Structure 1
Amino acid sequence: MTSKMSHTQPPSLFLPSLRNLAAISPSDVSRGITYLRSLYTPRIRGSKILGRITPDGSTISWPSSSPEDLDALVGDEFERGYSIRWLTYLAHNATQIQASAEEIAVIIDSAAAVLANCGGPASAGVLIRTIVFPASGIEVTLQDIPLDNGMASVGAQTWGGAFVLAEMIATHPEEFQLHKKSQSTLRVLELGSGTGLVGITVAKIANHLDLPTRVVCTDAYPPALHNLATNISANFDNISGTLSVESLALDWSIMANKPLTALFPPPLDIAFDIILGADIIYEAEHALWIRKVLTRFLRRNGLFHLLVPLRPTHAAESGTIEMVFIADGQGPEILSKETILCAPEKPSEEEIVYAYYRIGWQ
């Protein structure tokens, strides 16, 4: 997975000169801002896949989507400084551009946002990410909003696990039932959607393949749900008649305590073919709640695709997955497990490891 950027020229060569702003078109200015956003939007830790280790122990390599020269360019202090000066001048002098007041306001806001990105994650407020999956050509635009001191805002950030699962889906859609036309609509539920990257990716691929699909992205926290709805709207201004994408509040703890005979309004009135979850188990109770949710909402021939980071700090919580999803005849169970290896932020650090489970009924 890569940020969208079709150029690897350094900013000092790519960006238009601002000496005569009145002679520069708004589109050229916007192109420069987009270019810098793709360079300097903070990277997501643990999102660069190196390979997959299958259940039989064999390793499948993964094509690199982040050229080394691009990484070097991002780390070039001269180019970063040049970009900061370019954006600063633009933000202060944009009124000289021959454009409408609305266009100028957008340019100023965009330049200010990218300027914050240039200072790194600690400086950035709202982030706009444009992500392209090279294998499929699918493009997703996401908004991340700043974290506050509570758990409610965690879902408004894009985490590495969501990047990894989304790239797996985009690279091998056939492994996620996104390859054959059916008379019935494919029903997809995402748990703990956060910014919606995984669900939006599925919907974009289904739309590209002209597969009748309904995608329901869910979260429990209001800040995340509001941001999720914003991201869905940003990516689907023109949806085909065979595709439906929506956001919905879903609290696993409440759902787990309802009787199996309880009825729910659409879109939860019918079971789902595919359920997805990335980086959603970080409390001891989560696996228990999620299994009860699956027992209610996963079709008998459906699959739950779960990706979790193997963090030393949450070893006990992630360990509950294999304790809960067992072959006891009481609900869905683990059908297979793979290990996903991702590159660390620094060469001196250890690889980041995820466990990928396929869970279903036997």
Structure 2
Amino acid sequence: MTYFRAPTSFLPSLSILCTHTTASVKDALQDLKELYFPAPAPPQRTLSINGVPALKQDISDTVHVPRRKRTGRLKHSDGVPDSGYASEEDEAELEGDLESEAEDLDVDILRADEFERDFAIKWLTGLIKRSDAWIHTLESATEQEEDVRLSVIEEAGRLLARFAGDDEQQEDALTRKFTFPFGAEGKAITIELNDAPLSPTDHTSVGLQSWASAIIFTERICADPARYISIPQGAAPLRVLELGAGTGLLSIATAQIFDRMEVDAKIVATDYHSAVLHNLLRNVQTNNVSVQIESLDWSRPPPLEPYDIILAADVVYHPEHAKWIKICVEKALKKGGVFWLIIAMRSTGRHEGLWETVDDVFADGQCGFTRHEGCGGETKLAVVQKEDVGRRGGIGRADEVGYRLFEIRWLPCRYCC
């Protein structure tokens, strides 16, 4: 009879995830795999004596392989342990100390224990959602060391997917219908979107779902299109680019608005992840709008054609993202064009305070001081206006305390701090 320890007794606490070694997390994943998804039994072997079959038996009946023991396993910290569930909404914390000194349990009993199984799934979910900090927490880490940790997180994603498939509880896609008032008296803009389930193997595929910042900004654009997508003088078609389009809400709404106003425009919606791009194409086709879809890697942007308007909603999930986005906008925004960026202000978690990185990388166009005397008429991207928008009931995550909308344009250096 095979015995195993309960997941609540050996999974490392996620509240101190950054203190855990790569080996300890790998060990935890291997233990979960052995408990819930053991490898198939070795094939039977036919033994022979002088070429005559003698006895067929499973080699495991005759060879005893002791279950490996781990050394230096990290244990849960004292006090209230972290549940492993990374949702910011009413995150439930398990009461008491889960570090157990109980003897190993029969494997069949453990696998049938719904509490232990649920704990393992929540722990894997939390590990994946908090993985960025763990991957990059090593001081003086080499690229190879970070790659090893990334492979560990990918294994966690595969294991989580096996749990989902085993339970036949894969999250279904959700069709969402949005209705936004248009202008002062115009007929409302209606958009239907497919919000796909987040990938269990790719924790960065957040663009598969519609986020509150995009919903709030789309509502504003529909209510006052002249404010946000004003039409420049000239006969050339208006060019609009969306960065990190996700489900395509902003681009699809803009296309519908231009159709209503009979404006000749080219709209390009970009993202990076293949699953996001596939879902984006589906949404564009569902709403029957003229939106071109392209892949764009912010960290290595190609030469970009000039655009009159650039839109982006909730696109900063790492301190480097604002820098990369600035480089993209510098390559793509026309002189005289405008870049609208709305960011969720998150008060807790690994995305806390990331909206401030926008102010760090873009110049301040409101300060009124001269930064470079005699700069020769050079221009730079600067924040000419920003507005804080409060939470809206019924939308948004619990950690979102509000949203900041940036208006960014090219300004002469003398206006930028």
Work out whether residues 347 and 400 of structure 2, in 8 Å CA contact, stay in contact via their aligned partners in 1.
no
SS at match of 1:332: strand
For 2:208 and 2:399, the matched residues in 1 are separated by: 27
Task: Give the CA deviation at 1:183.
Answer: 1.6
Structure 1 residues 205 and 345: CA distance shift in structure 2, 3 A: closer
**Residue 310 (structure 2) aligns with:** 275
Matched, 1:289 2:336: no
Work out whether residues 287 and 324 of structure 1, in 8 Å CA contact, stay in contact via their aligned partners in 2.
yes
Deviations 1:288-309 (A, max 9, x none): 1111111100001000000001
Matched, 1:145 2:196: yes
Task: Give the CA deviation at 1:148.
Answer: 2.3
**Residue 194 (structure 1) aligns with:** 246
Structure 1 residues 350 and 291: CA distance shift in structure 2, 3 A: closer
Q: How many residues are treated as equivalent by the alignment? A: 224
For 1:151 and 1:351, the matched residues in 2 are separated by: 19
**Residue 324 (structure 1) aligns with:** 361
For 1:318 and 1:303, the matched residues in 2 are separated by: 19
For 1:290 and 1:178, the matched residues in 2 are separated by: 22
Task: Give the CA deviation at 1:179.
Answer: 5.9
For 2:355 and 2:195, the matched residues in 1 are separated by: 25
Work out whether residues 303 and 360 of structure 1, in 8 Å CA contact, stay in contact via their aligned partners in 2.
yes
The structure whose residues are more often helix, as a share, is 1
Matched, 1:203 2:260: no
Which structure has the bigger radius of gyration?
2
Task: Give the CA deviation at 1:180.
Answer: 7.4
For 1:204 and 1:219, the matched residues in 2 are separated by: 20
Work out whether residues 333 and 339 of structure 2, in 8 Å CA contact, stay in contact via their aligned partners in 1.
yes
For 1:189 and 1:221, the matched residues in 2 are separated by: 17
Work out whether residues 181 and 219 of structure 2, in 8 Å CA contact, stay in contact via their aligned partners in 1.
no
What is the one-letter code of the residue matched to 2:271?
D
Work out whether residues 239 and 308 of structure 2, in 8 Å CA contact, stay in contact via their aligned partners in 1.
yes
**Which TM-score applies when normalising by structure 2?**
0.50
**Residue 409 (structure 2) aligns with:** 360
Structure 1 residues 191 and 206: CA distance shift in structure 2, 3 A: same
What is the one-letter code of the residue matched to 1:148?
S
Matched, 1:218 2:253: no
Instruction: Choose between structure 1 and 2 for higher RCO, CA contacts under 8 A separated by at least 6 residues.
Output: 1
Structure 1 residues 138 and 130: CA distance shift in structure 2, 3 A: same
Deviations 1:188-233 (A, max 9, x none): 0000000000110001000111000111000010000000011111
Give the alignment partner of residue 342 of structure 2, picking from 292, 307, 311: 307
For 2:171 and 2:226, the matched residues in 1 are separated by: 37
For 2:402 and 2:320, the matched residues in 1 are separated by: 22
For 2:240 and 2:177, the matched residues in 1 are separated by: 23
For 2:231 and 2:179, the matched residues in 1 are separated by: 20
Task: Give the CA deviation at 1:131.
Answer: 1.2
Structure 1 residues 216 and 144: CA distance shift in structure 2, 3 A: same
Work out whether residues 146 and 153 of structure 1, in 8 Å CA contact, stay in contact via their aligned partners in 2.
no
Where do 1:41-52 residues align within 5 Å?
none
Q: Which runs of 5+ in 1 are unaligned?
A: 1-44, 46-121, 259-263
SS at match of 1:317: coil
Task: Give the CA deviation at 1:177.
Answer: 2.8
What is the one-letter code of the residue matched to 2:190?
E
Work out whether residues 178 and 206 of structure 1, in 8 Å CA contact, stay in contact via their aligned partners in 2.
no
Structure 1 residues 357 and 302: CA distance shift in structure 2, 3 A: same
Where do 1:217-296 residues align within 5 Å?
217-236=269-288, 244-255=290-301, 264=303, 268=304, 270-296=305-331
Task: Give the CA deviation at 1:124.
Answer: 5.4
Work out whether residues 188 and 275 of structure 1, in 8 Å CA contact, stay in contact via their aligned partners in 2.
yes
- Which 4+ runs in 1 deviate beyond 3 A? 178-182, 327-331, 349-352
**Which TM-score applies when normalising by structure 1?**
0.57
Matched, 1:133 2:168: no
Give the alignment partner of residue 383 of structure 2, picking from 334, 345, 351: 334
